[in-house]
Chains A and B, each alone.
Chain A
Amino acid sequence: MQPFALEQGRDIADTIRRGRMPGTDYIAGGTDLVQLLKDDVRRPRRLVDLEGLDLDQITVTPQGLRLGAMTRMSEVADHPAVIRDYPVISQALLASAAPQIRNLGTIGGNLLQRTRCTYFRDTASPCNKRSPGTGCAAIEGVHRTHAIFGGSRQCIATHASDLAVALVALDAVVHLSGPNGARDVRLTELHLMPNDHPDIETVLHPGELILAVSVPAGAWTRRSSYLKVRDRASFEFALTSAAVALDIQDGKIRAARVAAGGVGTKPWRLPAVEQALVGAPATTATWQRGGRLATAGAMPLRDNRFKVRLLRATVTRALEQVGGEA
């Protein structure tokens, strides 16, 4: 770990003033950043601590759910209103990491966690995301866990967050504050595909800070679920996952929200699946059709080809779990 200064702002404005300085990283829960520092993947000169900024409220209103960026993953997962009205969020969080990490990790930090691509985290390996222009070691290397959606010739690293998959499905919006003021960004727009610049992962400006995430209420949020498939029974990132929320009335699907994890270079919403579901009967055939449509456009490589079948099965199963067997 290279040396850095550790600072704390007086308030949000002061924090952002510090955060916009070159070479500065914010530190929230630190569960990912501290790993990156130890592995020498990040070399900030300064860390600005976000603890104590009063960004840890959970607010539930008829309009929706608002999660402060510094809310701990475990608090959100255990919140009765989240469990009742937004089960997919609670489930995605409980499927993440381990209890100890969820007690540290924050909602904002979770959304901005870096990829688990092992080449990215090993400074002796080429990686365009970590060291632009050095090449992607994964494309012709060991890439069983890598993305089948959204990859480029420069990068196929999977976005690792489970929470982001659930939130992307539920049309979440992130509330930002930065040197140029406040703005809201849809979570689907927050993360960027790697294209030619895998090192640039989000639309955030230097110093811009996530203050909170909002999830609009909808008839579908209560009937929602997160399914995660992995080699080990727990404490592992997803091979594939699916977040599903359905509004079903009289056996017919009125609205559908579906996203996939473990498969995309960013949290992967599946609009084609949603479109096919709306208006369809809540039947096994529909769920299977949804599963089949989930992998349209997938671009697997040698070792992650299995994710195509696996994602179909994952989405089908998740739809069935939420929508019921018929």
Chain B
Amino acid sequence: MTIRNFTRREFLRDTAATGGAAAIAGSGGKAWAVPAAADPPVPTQHRVTIRLNGTERALQLDPRTSLLDALREQLYLTGTKKGCDMGACGACTVLLDGKRVNACLVLAARLDGREVKTIEGLADGDQLHPLQAAFIEHDGFQCGYCTPGQIMSAAGLLNEGRPLDEHSIREWMSGNICRCGAYPNIVSAIRQASGRA
């Protein structure tokens, strides 16, 4: 088997012509022809209101904009971090209606009427959330870039109300990667904040 020397154009054209299931869609028995991207639909801007850290925020959004980019680039809430932008690192973890999700995988235009909490909304004024205080005390971070995601994920975990021993904290926090390797300290911090240290 040999691999042809494809130009980027050939691949993109071929890609555009490919059917196949995504999400809950049927691809059909045959691939259908998608019009070339030379004539793209001009995306409608979506007007969306989300409740963000307790405040209603009206946004005008390109449908492609992720919640993560909406937070960082439009609202200048840069506490939520972009690590991989593909749901594989957890740095962008926020609470959506109280549940932890990867903001990079959520199209913000779908969130009308939903409630989002980010790291900026976790403390009570100057009073740090117990998780935040515990992360400082246990040195649960080094470079700090995964930290908001770790803390929001831990906040989501505590909301879930599971019994938590060290092993289960590790399992349930495994969606949050820390390349500095602060894991043992993060686990200690979460144990303390969950009242189990």
Contact of A99 with B100 in the complex, beta carbons under 8 Å = yes
Cβ of A178 under 8 Å from chain B: yes
Cβ of B34 under 8 Å from chain A: yes
Find the A residue at minimum CB distance from B172. A99
Contact of B34 among A23, A28, A47, A124 (CB under 8 A): A23
Interface of A is mostly: loop
Find the B residue at minimum CB distance from A107. B24
Q: B residues within 8 A CB of A46?
A: 41
Cβ of A199 under 8 Å from chain B: yes
Contact of B31 with A200 in the complex, beta carbons under 8 Å = yes
Q: How far is the CA of A282 from the CA of B128 in the complex (A)?
A: 56
Cβ of B1 under 8 Å from chain A: yes
Given A43-B37, A104-B102, is A4 in contact with B43 using a C-beta cutoff of 8 Å?
yes
Q: How far is the CA of A27 from the CA of B27 in the complex (A)?
A: 13
Q: A residues within 8 A CB of B171?
A: 234
Cβ of A239 under 8 Å from chain B: no
Contact of A40 with B19 in the complex, beta carbons under 8 Å = no
Cβ of A279 under 8 Å from chain B: no
Q: A residues within 8 A CB of B44?
A: 5-6
From residue A83, how far is it (CB to closest CB) to chain B in Å? 12
Interface string of A85-107 (1 = CB under 8 A from B): 00000000000011111011010
Q: B residues within 8 A CB of A3?
A: 40-43, 62-64
Find the A residue at minimum CB distance from B171. A234
Contact of B40 with A205 in the complex, beta carbons under 8 Å = no
Contact of B23 with A112 in the complex, beta carbons under 8 Å = yes
Q: A residues within 8 A CB of B4?
A: 126, 134-135
Contact of B63 with A4 in the complex, beta carbons under 8 Å = yes
Cβ of B174 under 8 Å from chain A: yes
Q: A residues within 8 A CB of B62?
A: 3
Given A112-B24, A140-B1, is A35 in contact with B34 using a C-beta cutoff of 8 Å?
no
A residues near B, CB below 8 A?
Answer: 1-6, 19, 22-47, 49-51, 69, 74, 97-101, 103-104, 106, 108-109, 112, 114, 123-124, 126, 129-137, 139-140, 153, 178, 199-202, 204-210, 233-235
B residues near A, CB below 8 A?
Answer: 1-4, 6, 8, 10-12, 14-35, 37, 40-44, 46, 62-64, 66, 85-88, 90, 93, 96, 99-102, 104-107, 109-110, 153, 156-157, 160, 170-172, 174-176
